[in-house]
Chain A
């Protein structure tokens, strides 16, 4: 049955946020059903809607897709954000895996004890500025184009913008040594679909607060 994709997750960012970003950037309207309490998750499980009993789950094109990467790959492929051939796809995949690792570290922070968290924030800052951002800065420098791969907007660009903004929330001047990434951020923020997503009232979710984290712990038994 056609219609808008329907996202099943909690109200927070978590693993669903990259999917919201990609759909929004692709100009695809979507609906959301929020898991507010444990019973909501149990219901999805008992309905047989979750292949591996986990969310995110996205109803799209007659499928109940699970596994974040599978969902993102499908959306990227469907909306022509996955390069023009296998080699471009490989580059996009590599770049996305890098930003996934970086964002994964940030996503884990709210669930960590204060001392571990502090140590990890320092590690994230170091990794961002010495391992990850230099790669994307160099890619943009080497080809001098506006986008990371194939001179065309792709999933890699959208994911990188999301990662930049998320890292900036942690340390606002994180891009100070990366002029091309600053320019990239400016350009990408002005892509009409992305600009719309960055405005208040969009389906973009705010950073998690203590209350939402407590609820997530309860729902998922963490």
Chain B
């Protein structure tokens, strides 16, 4: 049964946000189901809908896909955002995995105790400006093209754009030493599908707040 992809998660960014970004960037409309109670999650598990009893869940093309990377890879492949051959795919995978490591710090940030938050922001800033952003600055400078891989829009560009905006929310001046990334950010923002996603009323979720943290703790029963 075809139709729009259907995303099941909580009403917040978490591990689903990268999937929302990629679908939106690909110009794919999707539906969303937001869980509000733990019982709803357990019921999904009992239904057999969740392979490993975990979210995110994306129903697409007759499959119930779980595991972020599996979902993202499928979407990237389906919508031609995964390069033209194995080697381009390798570059995209490397870039996406690196950015993922940076995004992991941001993902976990809301769950750190208040006294640790300042230090965590410093770590995010350090990793972004010393380990990750220099790599992409250099890539863009070296080939002088608009996109990271193969002179063509790909998953890597979407992921980098998401990461830049997410880090900027914590460290507003983070791109000050990276002119190529500043230009990249502007170009990405002006791509029609991304521009639409960045406007109010899109499926893009706001930064996590206390309410989000409480919901996650309740539904996923984290200690």
Q: Which A residues form the contact surface with B (CB < 8 A)?
A: 51-53, 61, 63, 65-70, 73-74, 77-78, 86-87, 89-90, 93-94, 97-98, 101, 131-132, 135
Closest to A64 in B: B94
> For chains A and B in complex, what number of residue pairs have CB atoms within 8 angstroms?
75
**In whole Å, how far is A155's beta carbon from the nearest beta carbon of chain B?**
12
Flag if A89 contacts B74 (CB, 8 Å): yes
Complex Cα spacing A77 to B73, Å: 13
Given contacts A51-B98, A52-B98, A70-B90, 17 further A-B contacts (CB under 8 A): A52-B135, A65-B90, A69-B69, A74-B89, A77-B89, A78-B86, A86-B78, A87-B63, A89-B74, A89-B77, A90-B65, A90-B70, A94-B65, A94-B66, A94-B67, A98-B51, A131-B53
**Contact, CB under 8 Å: A70 / B87:** no
Main SS at interface, chain B:
helix
What's the dominant secondary structure at chain A's contact region?
helix
**Interface bits B92-115 vs A (CB < 8 Å: 1, else 0):** 011011100100000000000000
Take A52-B101, A89-B77 as given contacts and tell me if A94 and B51 are in contact as well, using a CB distance cutoff of 8 Å: yes
Interface range, B side: 20 to 34
Residue of A nearest to B78 (CB): A86
A51 with B70: CB separation less than 8 A? no
Closest to A70 in B: B93
Chain A residues positioned under 8 Å from B98 (CB to CB): 51-52, 66-67
> B5 to chain A: closest CB distance in Å?
13
Closest residue of chain B to A94 (Cβ to Cβ) is B70
> Would you list which residues of chain B between 17 and 51 have a CB under 8 Å from chain A?
51
Expressed in whole angstroms, the Cα–Cα distance for A190 and B133 within the complex equals: 46
Provide 24 A-B residue pairs closer than 8 Å at the C-beta atoms, listed in order of the A residue: A51-B94, A52-B101, A52-B131, A52-B132, A65-B94, A67-B93, A68-B97, A69-B69, A70-B90, A70-B93, A70-B94, A74-B86, A89-B74, A90-B63, A90-B65, A90-B70, A90-B74, A93-B69, A93-B74, A94-B66, A94-B67, A98-B51, A98-B67, A131-B52
